[in-house]
Amino acid sequence: MVPGIITRGRNFCSFIRIGDNRLRRSRAPWFILSNLLLTYVATVLAALIWMPFEEVPGDAGPTFPDGGWVYELVFVCVIGPLLETLIFQWGIIRLMQSSGWFATWVMVLVSAVFFGASHWYDMSYVFFATCLGLVLAYAFVSCDGTSKNAYWCVVAIHALRNLATFILLLSTR
């Protein structure tokens, strides 16, 4: 079998065999940073796909009552990642794993679609969130079963991603 070619079996990550093996042997901080970078690559690719259909979203997103930026920061960078990872990566993927009926790539796709659908601010936001959900679900399944805790790795990736976006949006207000 040639490396980089889709192989048989239930391992979603087998289609990028070289990168997958490197990620599995890496330490958690490198795993988190590499997947954080992957979220930005996914966003750029999603923008390239979305642009022919509609303008890339500008100000879509959650709105908060007047509680100040600290309230928003805690919600977006702590509460959001904790709950969304619990529901959309850990919950959905574990539920589907327990049935034993689904291939890993199906679990990743279903998790991403539910993650995207939960971000229903407008259709473009759903599309971008689904692309981000693919990366987060991929990170969960590729980290699962290793010495790293998949839940906390995905929470960290999600929280860092939201923090970077929060800082960017806060600086433009």
How high is the pLDDT of residue 94?
92
Q: How far apart are CA 113 and CA 58, in angstroms?
A: 22
Asked, for residue 32, whether it belongs to a domain, the answer is yes
Q: What is the mean pLDDT of the chain?
A: 77
Q: Which domain, by its residues, includes 94? A: 13-56+67-171
3 domain-assigned: no
> What is the band of 3 on the pLDDT scale with cuts at 50, 70, 90?
very low
Query: What gap in Å lies between CA 99 and CA 61, rounded to an integer?
Result: 34
Tokens matching residue 133: 């959900």
CA distances from 90 to 17, 150, 154 (A): 23, 8, 9
Q: What percentage of the chain has pLDDT greater than the value 70?
A: 72
How many structural domains comprise the chain? Answer: 1
Residue 47 lies in a domain: yes
**47 pLDDT more than 70:** yes
